[in-house]
Structure 1
Amino acid sequence: MSKFEFTVLEGSPATLGATWDGSGTNFAIFSAHATKVELCLFDSRGRRETARIPLPEYTDEVWHGYLPEVRPGQLYGYRVHGPYDPANGHRFNPNKLVIDPYALELQGDIRWHDAVFGYRIGHSRDDLSFDRRDSAFVMPKCVVVDPAVTWGPDIRPNIPWAETIIYEAHVKGMTARHPDLPDNLRGNFGGLADPKVIDHLVKLGVTAIELMPTQAFFDDRYLIEKGLTNYWGYNTVGFFAPATRYISPGANVHEFKLMVRRLHEAGIEVILDVVYNHTAEGNQMGPTLSFRGIDNASYYILADDPRYYFDTTGCGNTVDLTHPRVLQMVMDSLRYWVEACHVDGFRFDLASSLGRDRDQFSPSATFLDAVRQDPVLSKVKMIAEPWDTGANGYQVGNFPPGWAEWNDQYRDTVRSYWKGDAAVLPALASRLMGTAERFDRRGRRPWASVNFVTAHDGFTLMDTVSYNDKHNDANKEDNRDGHSDNRSWNCGVEGPTDDPAVRDLRDQMRRAMMGTLLLSQGTPMILMGDEVGRTQGGNNNAYCQDNEMNWLKLDELDPRDAAFCEFLRGLIAMRRTRPLLSQPDFLHKGNKRGVDVCWLRPDGKEMSEEDWHNPEARTLGMLLRNKTASLLALFNSHYESVSFHLPQETHSAHWVRIADSHTGELHLRRAPAERHRRLDVPARGLIVLEDSAE
């Protein structure tokens, strides 16, 4: 290692991370149990360590120092000294270069080697052994960043929750094979910032894009050894840095900010899918990348035997948000993405783990209370995935006011209904009304239920109507991974078919399920590619497939898929132009804005208790109305058509058919009125009618 002389001043513990102030850089890192922290500087390629500098001060459990000579672009990492005592929860090993938890940018990727583990791989004492090999040669390096950027007149769209329509997408999946992008923009933030990509979202009519993990993550060793990748990215190792794989060649962290600004200019909000419940370091047999080597006993919840981890995530460890410094890191990270990067909200993976004190979840947990009172975070959209793998982990409806939640009950009910299951009508009515039995409390609103039929985890919409069983062989886990309860129906043939009758039925089912989604109170979420028939070949856990199985295809669309995309655009336009479909209040107990709902059976009479409890009933009319307009949705999941009596006690008694899932027709502006008192709703069909006083 070359010897360079650096001036090292005391610096400040106030701001963690590497902070460039225009003159020099302050370095500060928290560790309550370390005995010494060394700052390691590297050459511009990250291959040679040019200096190793002990941080001179230790204040309030923060190690810090100021280097006037260090400028933006400097590569660095840390070596942290302390006891290697796994039996007592300590795993310090200064032979391992560790990533700064507050690093704003990383350079390079992990090259998997036994040296990144704090113990000797294959040793008879497993993780109780100690590895003395230097890991710097295979570790990514942190980058000192100048955070200044010219935003210009960036105006947040500030879409009200009641008007929000979310599109769940993947940065690479959205851009990797876009027909109009140059190669250097495919698969990265620059591609997603391109007007040609954004135009697809604008034409579709969504108001927010929810990006699957974009914070720094790496490909797991076991996946690389199988020739696979961590495509989804749910294994974070840097909560402030964007994933390097999504930064264009020659670009830097500011490319992410450009993407946000371009989406804002199009009126689209940016929501980040974030993973604060665990890290990429796994269990006691995992690598030493950052937190484990900095202060294992502080960053993670340890088991009763502190050699092991208390795990509610299924990923080997759980981040300890009850520790004040760890809580500070997560809060600082969230504020960074809002204030410095202008994002509009977050979706929290396995969010129940964030509200835990070991086995108990509480809506008043430290982290949830901190978010609620935070002057920055309380003003952006917060979405929970309200479950984890631990005891009492399923918490749908139990998050505090201000939060929205993924509603998997919505998915299961809608799929079950349209595949023809019995005894689903009461649940269907509940889902159409925002699942009020779970969310109508403490002043929460219908938008708290994020409704979806499909998400990244599970079948796509096309696969939901094409496969009865999962087909995950490409994941190389002998088809054991992924859920087996998919509530799907292949319409008579497993997988692709040229049978026109089966394909027609699948199209009808797709239109009916998306029609249901856009008719429901709550916040609708659409999965990337569902609008154009994207299929994963029956793989319902495509987390490791970085290929065309997961990439969006917009060119050479099958005419059926092109027609379905137009139908979905129409449904979204219907929702955005009919306020009855996105009410700010729950409707099940009446509505102070003069909106009510009436449930009808096919003869036009209101549903009785006996009707609701008839397990064979599969038809339902939903009548929404106020003083000026009425909407009537007729649902029929029977295998044969059903005749419905149309209500006559409305504004003009002239019903206009605006959407028909059987034919795929949409008439949002002008359409002939239904002059008949009865209307045949086709098998597995949904028809939407409108009556207006205008």
Structure 2
Amino acid sequence: MFAKLAQAYPLGATLCDQGCNFSIHSTDNQEIKLVLFDIENKKTIIDFDHTHLDIHYTFVPNIKAGQVYGFQIKDKHNERLILDPYAQALNQTPFYVEPFTAEESWKFTKSVVIDHQFDWQNTVFPQVPYEETILCETHVKGFTQLQEHIEEQYRGTYLGLCQPAAIEFYKEQGITSLQLLPVTSCMSEPHLLKMDKVNFWGYNSLCFMAPEPRYAMSDAVTEMKTMVRELHKEGIEVIMDIVFNHTAEGGEGGPKFHLKCLDKHYYLLDSNKNHHNYTGCGNTVDLTYQPSLTLVIDTLRHWVTHYQIDGFRFDLAATLGRNGHRFDSQSAFFKAIEQDPILQKVKLIAEPWDVGPDGYQLGNFPRGWNECNDKFRDTVKSHWLGDKNNIKEFATRLMGSRDFFSAGGWPDKLPVNFISYHDGFTLQDLVSYNHKHNEANGERNLDGHGDNRSFNHGVEGKTDNLSVLYKRERQKRNLMTTLLFSFGIPHLLAVDSLSHTQGGNNNAYCQDNEISWANWILSPDNISFKNWLAGMVKARKEVMSPFIRAFSGRERGHHRIRWNHSNGKLMNTDDWQNLEAFALYLGLYKNGKELLFLINSSTIPTRYRLPAGGKWRIICDTSESVLGNRQTQTTYMQSTQSITILSRE
């Protein structure tokens, strides 16, 4: 009877009312066995009685949700317990004591059978349009760990992100889409375990389908679903940052958790069967191999189907598009997503590079993919914080980086513009430090990027100098105004709203402490900036979003664009080489809405002559710390190193 219930697909543990089907792909270990654990950790070993295309499967009656299991394989002369690559939950936070031997594997975290029934209370996917999307990158634990307005039991958890105080913050700041640092199960690297540290960011995947246990009070599956449901009730999307380019098994000599023991071809190997390291993490997942591709696509469908996830940001996504060793925008991975009726509906954001050959692929991902635009980041930081005056490059980034992203593909092909990300300086540190200070990471300050394009304004780090503090606040406003009023999808770092500093650490991946935890104790300047930023996001939605819609697709050629001197005359070719004060005029159709950008990166106040035709509303002037409701008509005096945005109906 039960043999008929046994199926090769789907892979993993699939529960029904009569028991559970267990299925696993294993080419290299044909003697693999299923191991069930009872509440006292006593084991029952079960042979697989069916095989199909190197998939071993069996049906076990009377299994219930919560059943703990694993797989036993032969590892040289020992028996090793491995995780199910398709595990949908883990029974405890992963941890081991080096070295990770076959004996140690039996003490390690184990897979858990899951019943995905959940009351979604008729919530729906928010489906925020691209041109209205405000991405906010945050860390589940780090964002709420020190938030006093959240009950202590919820701080640092999935449920903490959907408490009233947290939701109030998102709504106040105009956030439409939370982009969560990895919430899939993670294992800290061996060198961190030796230093008694953890991979705080989570970019070292263990099991792709299992939510990270350390962010749960008791039940990671139910609590993460609850978080998504409550955010959806408020119209807020949840975007998962997900890592498929490598796994926590590392390179040669790294630990063995599952894939290494099951089939060496899960990974990209050289002619000597050694791991290619195109990720900088020891191994590279090979998505030209069908079982690898199947695992990744099944994982994406899993998160959308069972957790109602709204989209994904793919870490080192150039790896996923590799056809062997070279990048191919027509690779099987892209085609598999494009034809999938579930995955067609979600947002797809690529980090368009890795460290292998053909590793930098900005602008080369297929239609339907948005890409993290590091060209925007570098150009805008250099313009405001550096001594490089390349206004032609700056203007290109402001207008949507159309040298990489044709407006004919907008809005679904809009670039994801950003100033700060989880890696690199926070916004506050960008204007406070000239050099990285990563000593706390235990790597002699050799880790982290050296090209920060930051400026401390005369003092390295904290200061009471009012002149320095004023300049820093102004530059923060310059950077955020440029981000919010550029053509693209703005990506904000959640802690930037709080002016959080990491003390100059630009690679705080292993800092599960106050370095990374958002500081909610705000100074008057911090409060002023938070309120200013909230107002700017609101203005972005009201004023900029219609221009992005109008400049997208077939309608893009029907509008007015002019680049002017401060005196109102059109700029010529020579002006693009050395001008420091200039203006951008945008108008919809022949007589529609108008926008005016007054950009003065010089150290001299400049008077601008404004286009005739009526009064202009001043949306913001970054030389001022508050947003007013003022108007001007013929001229405007622009302060030094600042930008003003004006609009007119």
What does the per-residue CA deviation read over 1:584-626, in whole Å, with 9 as the maximum and x for residues that have no partner? 365799825x432211121111211110123xx2222111112
2:600 equivalent in structure 1: 636
SS at match of 2:206: strand
Q: State the AA in 1 paired with 2:343.
A: L
Distance 1:589 1:602 in 2: 32
* Shift of residue 639, structure 1, vs aligned partner: 2.2
The Cα shift of 1:681 comes to 1.1
1:619 correspondence with 2:581: yes
Where 1:328 maps in the other structure, the secondary structure is helix
Aligned to 2:480: 514
The answer for the alignment partner of 1:394 in structure 2 is 360
> Which residue of structure 1 aligns with residue 642 of structure 2?
685
Per-residue deviation at 1:492? 1.0
Going from structure 1 to structure 2, the CA distance change for 1:524 and 1:581 (only over 3 Å counts) comes to farther
1:415 to 2:372 alignment: no
The TM-score normalised by the length of structure 2 is 0.96
**Residue 194 of structure 2 aligns with which residue?**
225
Q: CA distance change for structure 1 residues 589 and 486 in 2, over 3 Å: closer, same or farther?
A: farther
- Report the AA paired with residue 272 of structure 2: D
1:172–1:246 contact (8 Å) kept in structure 2: yes
Matched, 1:73 2:66: yes
Give the 5 Å matches for 1:375-524: 375-440=341-406, 443-445=409-411, 447-524=413-490
Q: Which of 609, 612, 620 is the aligned partner of 1:659?
A: 620
Could you tell me how far 1:637 is from its partner in structure 2? 1.4
Q: Deviations over 1:340-365 (max 9, x none)?
A: 11010000000000011233111101
Aligned to 2:269: 302
Structure 1 counterpart of 2:57, from 64, 68, 73: 64
Counterpart residue identity of residue 262, structure 2:
I
Map 1:91-490; keep pairs closer than 5 Å: 95-114=79-98, 116-117=100-101, 133-248=102-217, 250-295=218-263, 297-306=264-273, 308-440=274-406, 443-445=409-411, 447-490=413-456
Structure 1 residues 394 and 274: alpha-carbon distance in aligned structure 2, compared to 1, 3 A threshold: same
Q: CA deviation at 1:444?
A: 4.7
Task: Work out whether residues 465 and 506 of structure 1, in 8 Å CA contact, stay in contact via their aligned partners in 2.
Answer: yes
Residue pair 2:407, 2:551 contacting (<8 A) in 1 also: no
The residue identity in structure 2 corresponding to 1:598 is R
Distance 1:582 1:384, change over 3 A: farther
Match of 1:88 in 2: none
CA shift, 1:34, in A, is 2.3
User: Aligned partners of 1:581, 1:600: CA distance in 2, in Å?
Assistant: 23
**AA aligned opposite 1:204:** Q
Gaps spanning 5+ residues in structure 2: where? Answer: none
**Cα deviation digits, residues 449-487 of structure 1 (max 9, x gap):** 000000001000000000011000000100000111101
Q: Which amino acid aligns with 1:202?
A: K
Residue 541 and residue 326 in structure 1: after superposition, are their counterparts in 2 closer, same or farther (change >3 A)? same
After TM superposition, the score normalised by the length of structure 1 is 0.90
Number of positions where the alignment pairs a residue of Structure 1 with one of Structure 2 = 647
* Most deviating of 626-635 and 532-541: 626-635
For the 8 Å contact 1:405–1:450, the answer to whether it is kept is yes
SS of equivalent residue, structure 2 residue 224: helix
**2:14 pairs with 1:30:** no
**Structure 1 counterpart of 2:43:** 50
Inter-partner Cα distance in structure 1 for 2:348 and 2:414: 10
One-letter identity of the residue aligned with 2:532: F
Report if the CA contact (8 A) 1:434-1:586 is conserved: no
Is residue 2:535 matched to residue 1:535?
A: no
Task: Give the Cα separation in 1 of the matches to 2:65 and 2:567.
Answer: 73
Identity of aligned residues (%): 39
Is structure 2 residue 515 aligned with structure 1 residue 549? yes
Check conservation: 1:433, 1:588, Cα contact below 8 A.
no
- Distance across 2 between alignment mates of 1:588 and 1:558: 44
Using a 3 Å threshold, how does the CA distance of structure 1 residues 469 and 427 change in structure 2: closer, same or farther? same
> Structure 1: which 5+ runs fail to align?
1-6, 85-92, 118-132
Deviations 1:563-602 (A, max 9, x none): 001110111011111146651365799825x432211121
Describe the shift of the 1:11–1:541 C-alpha distance in structure 2 as closer, same or farther (beyond 3 A).
same
Structure 2 contact 386–455 (Cα < 8 Å) conserved: no
Q: Distance in 2 between matches of 1:218 and 1:184?
A: 24
Distance 1:113 1:551, change over 3 A: closer
Q: Distance in 2 between matches of 1:596 and 1:372?
A: 35
Rounded Cα–Cα distance in structure 1 between residues aligned with 2:106 and 2:435: 45
CA contact (8 A) 1:116 1:289 kept: no
SS of 2:312's equivalent in the other structure is strand
Deviations 1:19-53 (A, max 9, x none): 110220110001123221111111226xx342111
| Of 553, 574, 578, the match for 2:543 | 578
2:19 & 2:175 partners in 1: Cα distance? 44
Q: By how many angstroms is 1:71 displaced?
A: 1.2
Distance (whole Å) between structure 1 residues aligned to residue 159 and residue 78 of structure 2: 38
DSSP 3-state at the match of 1:138: coil
Single out whichever of 430-439 and 35-44 deviates more from structure 2: 35-44
Q: Is structure 2 residue 561 aligned with structure 1 residue 597?
A: yes
* DSSP 3-state at the match of 2:533: helix
| 1:537 counterpart letter in structure 2 | G
| Pairwise CA distance, 1:628 | 3.0
8 Å CA contact 2:13–2:21 kept in 1: the answer is yes
Paired residue type of 2:447: D
The residue type equivalent to 1:33 in the other structure is: D
Map of 2:34 onto structure 1: 39
